[in-house]
Amino acid sequence: MKMKRSTIAIIVILVIGIFIYSTFKGNYNKMVTLEEGIGGSWAQVENQYQRRADLIPNLVNTVKGYAEFEQETLTGVIEARAKATSVSIDPSNLTPSAIANFEQAQQGLSGALSRLLVTVERYPDLKANQQFQQLQVQLEGTENRIAVERRSFNQTVQGFNTLIRKFPQTLIANMFGFEKKGYFEAKEGAEEVPEVTFE
């Protein structure tokens, strides 16, 4: 009788131990997989921003051909591109502040490009230039791809952040240093409806 009780106790302890190990291992591996997915998703975001940065020299050179074009606008685009390409983030350090710094540099470039494209409106010959039109279409396509990749990145980050905050996964996350990742967020004031007036 004593032999049976001790055998049952050992079996119960083994089953509980295997269950705990399986749960622990499964959750740890899931966190690693999701964290790697964030790194891959971040690489796609960077690829699209790099594609945009690579289009800018061709755009600037095309615009430079129009001698009367505002030099200050071109200089602003070149400087914003240099700043945006100098800010990079290691995928293992995707903290909210690091992403905010990256996004701020990219918004500076977006603003400079917007000013350039608004200025182009004053130059009908430039607007009609075939190369300029092709570059503008490529730039618009790249902006759309950036939006898609940012959304995909945010969804991947959301899955990871949700997992590491749940119990018992939060215990495993804390033990192994899995930390919350940052999101791309909408620009300040994006929730406000712009005021339109016709004069």
Does 18 reside within a domain?
no
Does 193 reside within a domain?
no
Q: Is the pLDDT of residue 194 over 60?
A: no
- What average pLDDT does range 71-84 have in this prediction? 85
User: Domain range for residue 138?
Assistant: 41-176
Q: What is the CATH number of the domain that holds 102?
A: 1.20.1270
Q: What confidence tens digit (pLDDT) does each residue in 120-172 have? A: 877 777 777 788 888 888 888 888 999 999 999 999 999 999 999 988 888 88
Does 189 reside within a domain?
no
Does 81 reside within a domain?
yes
Q: What confidence tens digit (pLDDT) does each residue in 134-148 have? A: 888 888 888 899 999
Does 199 reside within a domain?
no
Does 24 reside within a domain?
no
For residue 25, what are its two tokens? 């291992």
**pTM, rounded to two decimals:** 0.76
Does 76 reside within a domain?
yes
pLDDT value at residue 190: 43
pLDDT value at residue 69: 62
Number of domains in the chain: 1
Does 35 reside within a domain?
no
